[in-house]
Amino acid sequence: DHNWQQALLKTSSERRIAVDIELSGWQEQLVLTMTSEEGVSVTHTLDGEFAEATQAEKALANLRDGVAKLGQTLYYSRNVEINLPGALFVPNSLLNQLRRETAEMLDDARLKAVVRGSRKPVSVPPPVYPETHLSFLANVYNHKAREFYQRYGVQ
């Protein structure tokens, strides 16, 4: 019983979208680009004075991890590229803000990119029912059925 209850509490399926992330820029500006698996891409910038980091490898690892954290969003990072002129020190709060705003922009861009299907046009002239009169065997029991048959030429 306990195992069954635990199985029911788990999520049965979860759809997450792969995102390619690229962080580029220079010491005065960072540019974060996110591209979803559908090909929708957004770019967001963060202005500031970003100094060279004293520990280059640790700074690059922090940048990579910082932009890859997508948490409870619809996305997961498939590929992360850091294209900076050097290892820059970026405060985590600013990096998190840049990542969150870019993810929100990607949400909006994906919604705008959705192609809505259209309904099939009404055929003119409307189709004609093969019979013009129905016997009691047609089982026309309610007004909706009667309206249907009348719409298609049956009396």
SS3 string, the chain, reads CHHHHHHHHCCCCCCCEEEEEEEEEECCEEEEEEEECCCCEEEEEEECCCCECCCHHHHHHHHHHHHHCCCCCCEEEEEEEEECCCCECCCHHHHHHHHHHHHHHHHHHHHHHCCCCCCCCCCCCCCCCCCCCCCHHHCCCCHHHHHHHHHCCCC
| pTM (predicted TM-score) | 0.69
pLDDT in tens, the chain (155 residues): 788 888 888 877 778 999 999 999 998 999 999 999 999 999 999 998 888 988 989 999 999 999 999 988 999 999 999 999 888 999 999 999 999 999 999 999 999 998 888 888 887 777 777 888 888 888 788 889 888 888 888 87
